[in-house]
C-alpha cells in the first residue's frame, strides 16, 4: 500500500498485506503519524509509521490477514524486543509478537514486522521492554532470566499454594543517568550505583508462603579496586573526608561516619513499591549481601511491583532515598532533547526546525550542515521529554512562517519519538516590510511550548494546534532574523533624474579594489575602524559567511550610505585606513582617486 501522509506530497510504503484479491479491494490504509502520541506508553519507543487499516464493506473481509509493516530500530539490546501494537477506535490495545522481522526485497534485506491480525484497527511497531514469563510449580523453581543470566529468582518448595505465573520486565539503568542525577542534585552524592529496575507481575495474586531469593548485578564501588594498595596515611585522609562530608551534609546520618579502615565499605538498600498508589519505600528489614564482585542477593517475603537495589557510600535519610527513587523513575521515562532551528545558507527565507535527542545533537548538526543549513540561532538548552510528548511552536514579532508558502501565521507541532526524526521545513517572511526600520534585518521570536501526553485529546484525527497558550509558560524561545531585501523602485519616466556624474561607478570600482586588497591580507571587519553599528557587522557576516571580500565590500557600501551627500568620502576613508594601520593603502587610494584608475 503506497500512502501519502497528510500535509506531504510524497508517497511511501505504509505496509504490505497478503490476502485474497476480494479482501484487498475492500481495504484502505492511512498514515496517522499526527496521532502517534496516543499509541505509546512509558518505556515504549515508536519505530514505524502509525497506520490505520479500514474497510469499505466489513462483510467481505476474511480473517486472518497478514500485514508486514516497515520499521527502523537503531537500539535494541538484550532487554528490548520488537512488538506490534493494535489499537481499536476506542483506544483499547493488544500486543502481537511478529512472525518475522525481515523481508527480502530483491537483493536487499529490510526490516518488516509481519503479524497476523483478526481485527482491523490502528497498527504501530514499537520497541518494548522484553517480557519474560514463567510458572512457579508447587515444588519450587530456580529461574535464570534469558535476557541476563546474572539475574535469577529462586522459589522454595511450597512458595505458592498452587502453580503461579510470573511476568518480569528488566529496565537497565545506565551509570551516566545516575551521574546526571548526582550532578543535578547534590543530595544524591552518596549514591554509587544501582541495579536494573525490576518490574514484576503476579497475575494469580497468591501470597508468599516462603521467601524468594533474588540475585542481580549491582556495580561495585570503583574505589574498592584501589583498596589493596592504599596506605594507612591515605585511609586516614579518606576517613577524615567522610567525617567532614557527614558533618556538612544535612541528609547524611551520623552513623555513616566509619572507623579507620572501614571507609571503603558501602551500604546496600532495597527500594520498591507494592503498587503505584502506595509509592516508593525503603525496606530496612531486607538484608542484601554481596555474593561476589558486582553481584548482590537478598530474600523477599512479599510481592513488589517494582524494586531496585541502591549502593551508597554513606547512609542518608530515607526521605532522600524516596526522592532519588522518584527522580530515577522519571528520568528512565524521559530523554534529554534539543530544538534546532537553522536557515538555508543560499536562501535565508527557508528554515528547518528539528527535534533531536541530546546524545545525537552533534550528528544532526553535521547532517544539517551537509544539507546547507546553518545557524544562528544556536540550538536550545536540553530539556527532558517523554516518548510521545509534543512541542508546539509559533512565530512572534515581525516574522511568520508557512509550510506551503501560502498559509502563514499558524501554530506548528513536532512529536517526540526517540527513534524517529521530528522535522519541519518552513518558509519565513516578514509581517511588515516597513518594520524594524532602524535595523538591516527583520526580527522575530519563535516560542516553544511543551505538551504532555495527558494534555492531548484522545481523537484519531488530530487537527493542527491553535490557541494562545495564555495559561502555559513557554519551554524556550529562539531569536530569528531575516535580511532585508533592497527594493527596486521604478519611477515614471517624467520623474527620472538623469545625471552625468560617474562618481557612483568610480566609488563602486574603488570599493571592489579595496575589498580585494584587504581580503588578501585577511583583514578582519573589526580592524577596519569604520564607524558602523555592531549589528551591521553581524548582518554582513550572515549575508556573506564564506567570502571575506564580499563582507568587506558590503561593509564599505553600508558605511557609504550613512554619509551625507556633501561628505568627502575619499578623505574619510583614507583617515580610517591610517587608523587601521594601513597607511600604504591610504596613500595608494589617494593616488588612484586622483588618477581615477582602480585596477
Cα 284 to Cα 71: distance, rounded to the nearest angstrom: 46
Sign of CA dihedral 305, 308, 314, 316: negative
pLDDT at res. 246? 46
In terms of DSSP bridges, do strands 141-144 and 100-105 run parallel, antiparallel, or are they unpaired? Answer: unpaired
Q: Where are the alpha helices (DSSP H) in 460-582?
A: 503-520, 534-543, 548-561, 569-579
C-alpha–C-alpha distance, residues 370 and 73, integer Å:
24
Burial of 484 from C-beta contacts in 10 A (0-12 / 13-18 / 19+): middle
At the topology level, CATH places domain 501-595 in Death Domain, Fas (1.10.533)
Give me the residues paired with residue 310 across strands: 194, 269
Please answer whether residues 525 and 541 qualify as being in contact, where contact means their C-beta atoms are separated by less than 8 angstroms.
yes
Report, as ranges of residue numbers, the positions in the chain whose pLDDT lies below 50: 229-234, 236-263, 494-501
pTM value is 0.74
d(CA 524, CA 167): 67
Burial class (CB in 10 A: 0-12, 13-18, 19+), 250: exposed
CB atoms within 10 A of CB 584: 11
CA dist 303 and 273 (Å) reads 9
CATH code of 2-129, in short, is 2.60.220
Cis link prior to 316 (omega < 30° from 0)?
no
Region of 91 (left: φ > 0; alpha: ψ -120 to 50; beta: rest) is left
Cα–Cα dist 331/62, whole Å: 45
Asked if residues 570 and 590 have their Cβ atoms less than 8 Å apart, the reply is yes
Q: The cell 542477593 sits on which residue?
A: 297
Candidates 1.10.4160.10, 3.30.450.20, 2.60.120.620, 2.60.220.30; CATH matching 131-221+266-332: 2.60.220.30
Pick the CATH number of 335-483 from 3.40.50.2300, 2.60.40.2660, 3.40.50.2000, 1.10.10.410: 2.60.40.2660
Nearest 10 degrees: CA dihedral of 398, 401, 407, 409? Answer: -50
* pLDDT given at position 597: 67
pLDDT in tens, 452-500: 999 888 888 877 766 667 678 899 999 999 988 765 555 555 444 444 3
CA atoms within 13 A on the CB side of 349: 10
Check for a shared fold between 2-129 and 131-221+266-332: yes
Rounded Cα distance, 18 and 27, in Å: 11
**8 Å CB contact between 475 and 451:** no
Nearest to 316 by CA among 386, 381, 242: 242
Q: Is 67 left (phi over 0), alpha (psi -120 to 50) or beta?
A: beta
Per-residue DSSP letter, 407: -
Measured CA to CA, the distance from residue 234 to residue 260 in angstroms comes to 10
CA–CA separation, 214 and 393 (whole Å): 48
Domains of the chain: which residue ranges? 2-129, 131-221+266-332, 335-483, 501-595
Q: What is the DSSP letter of 420?
A: B
ω into residue 63 within 30 of 0, thus cis? no
Segment 277-286, tens digit of pLDDT: 888 999 999 9
Which is nearest to 543 in space by CA: 475, 485, 456?
Answer: 485
Asked if residues 84 and 95 have their Cβ atoms less than 8 Å apart, the reply is yes
- Other Cβ atoms closer than 10 A to 74: 11
Amino acid at each position: 500500500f503506497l500512502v501519502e501522509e497528510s500535509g506531504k506530497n510524497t508517497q511511501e510504503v505504509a505496509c504490505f498485506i497478503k490476502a485474497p484479491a476480494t479482501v484487498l479491494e475492500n481495504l484502505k490504509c492511512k498514515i496517522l503519524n499526527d496521532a502517534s502520541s496516543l499509541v505509546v506508553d512509558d518505556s515504549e519507543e515508536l519505530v514505524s509509521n502509525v497506520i490505520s487499516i479500514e474497510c469499505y464493506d466489513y462483510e467481505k473481509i476474511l480473517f486472518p490477514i497478514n500485514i508486514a509493516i516497515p520499521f527502523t530500530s537503531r537500539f535494541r539490546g538484550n532487554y528490548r524486543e520488537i512488538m506490534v501494537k493494535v489499537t481499536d477506535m476506542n483506544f483499547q490495545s493488544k500486543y502481537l509478537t511478529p512472525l518475522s522481522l525481515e523481508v527480502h526485497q530483491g537483493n536487499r534485506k529490510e526490516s518488516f514486522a509481519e503479524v497476523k491480525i483478526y481485527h482491523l484497527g490502528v497498527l504501530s511497531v514499537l520497541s518494548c521492554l522484553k517480557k519474560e514469563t514463567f510458572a512457579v510449580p508447587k515444588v519450587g523453581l530456580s529461574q535464570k532470566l534469558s535476557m541476563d543470566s546474572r539475574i535469577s529468582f529462586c522459589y522454595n518448595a511450597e512458595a505458592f499454594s498452587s502453580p503461579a505465573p510470573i511476568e518480569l520486565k528488566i529496565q537497565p539503568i545506565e551509570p551516566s543517568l545516575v551521574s546526571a542525577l548526582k550532578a543535578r542534585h547534590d543530595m544524591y552524592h552518596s549514591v554509587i550505583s544501582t541495579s536494573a529496575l525490576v518490574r514484576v507481575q503476579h497475575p494469580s495474586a497468591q501470597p508468599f508462603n516462603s521467601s524468594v531469593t533474588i540475585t542481580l548485578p549491582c556495580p561495585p564501588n570503583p574505589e574498592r579496586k584501589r583498596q589493596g594498595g592504599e596506605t594507612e596515611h591515605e585511609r586516614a585522609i579518606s576517613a577524615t573526608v567522610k567525617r567532614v562530608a557527614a558533618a556538612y551534609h544535612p541528609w547524611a546520618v551520623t552513623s555513616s561516619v566509619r572507623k579507620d579502615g572501614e571507609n571503603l565499605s558501602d551500604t546496600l538498600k532495597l527500594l520498591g513499591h507494592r503498587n503505584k498508589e502506595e509509592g516508593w519505600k525503603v525496606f530496612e528489614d531486607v538484608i542484601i549481601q554481596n555474593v561476589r564482585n558486582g553481584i548482590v542477593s537478598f530474600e523477599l517475603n512479599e510481592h513488589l511491583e517494582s524494586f531496585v537495589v541502591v549502593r551508597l557510600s554513606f547512609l542518608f535519610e530515607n526521605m532522600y532515598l524516596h526522592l532519588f527513587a522518584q527522580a530515577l523513575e522519571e528520568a528512565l521515562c524521559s530523554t534529554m532533547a534539543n530544538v534546532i532551528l537553522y536557515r538555508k545558507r543560499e536562501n535565508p527565507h527557508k528554515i528547518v526546525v528539528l527535534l533531536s535527542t541530546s546524545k545525537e545533537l552533534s550528528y544532526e548538526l553535521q547532517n544539517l550542515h551537509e544539507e546547507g543549513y546553518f545557524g544562528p540561532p544556536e540550538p536550545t538548552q536540553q530539556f527532558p521529554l517523554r516518548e510521545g510528548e509534543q512541542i508546539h511552536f509559533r512565530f512572534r514579532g515581525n516574522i511568520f512562517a508557512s509550510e506551503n508558502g501560502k498559509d502563514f501565521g499558524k501554530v506548528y507541532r513536532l512529536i517526540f519519538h526517540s527513534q524517529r526524526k521530528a522535522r519541519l521545513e518552513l518558509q519565513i517572511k516578514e509581517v511588515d516590510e516597513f518594520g524594524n526600520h532602524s535595523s538591516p534585518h527583520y526580527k522575530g521570536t519563535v516560542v516553544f511550548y511543551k505538551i504532555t501526553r495527558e494534555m492531548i485529546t484522545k481523537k484519531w484525527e488530530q487537527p493542527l494546534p491553535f490557541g494562545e497558550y495564555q495559561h502555559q509558560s513557554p519551554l524556550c524561545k529562539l531569536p530569528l532574523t531575516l535580511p532585508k531585501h533592497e527594493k527596486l523602485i521604478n519611477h515614471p519616466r517624467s520623474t527620472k533624474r538623469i545625471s552625468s556624474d560617474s562618481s557612483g561607478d568610480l566609488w563602486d570600482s574603488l570599493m571592489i579594489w579595496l575589498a580585494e586588497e584587504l581580503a588578501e591580507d585577511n583583514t578582519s571587519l573589526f580592524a577596519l575602524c569604520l564607524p558602523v553599528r555592531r549589528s551591521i557587522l553581524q548582518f554582513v557576516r550572515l549575508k556573506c559567511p564564506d567570502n571575506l571580500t564580499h563582507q568587506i565590500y558590503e561593509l564599505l557600501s553600508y558605511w557609504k550610505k550613512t554619509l551625507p551627500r556633501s561628505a568627502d568620502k575619499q578623505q574619510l576613508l583614507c583617515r580610517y585606513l591610517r587608523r587601521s594601520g594601513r597607511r600604504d593603502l591610504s596613500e595608494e587610494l589617494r593616488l588612484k582617486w586622483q588618477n581615477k584608475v582602480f585596477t
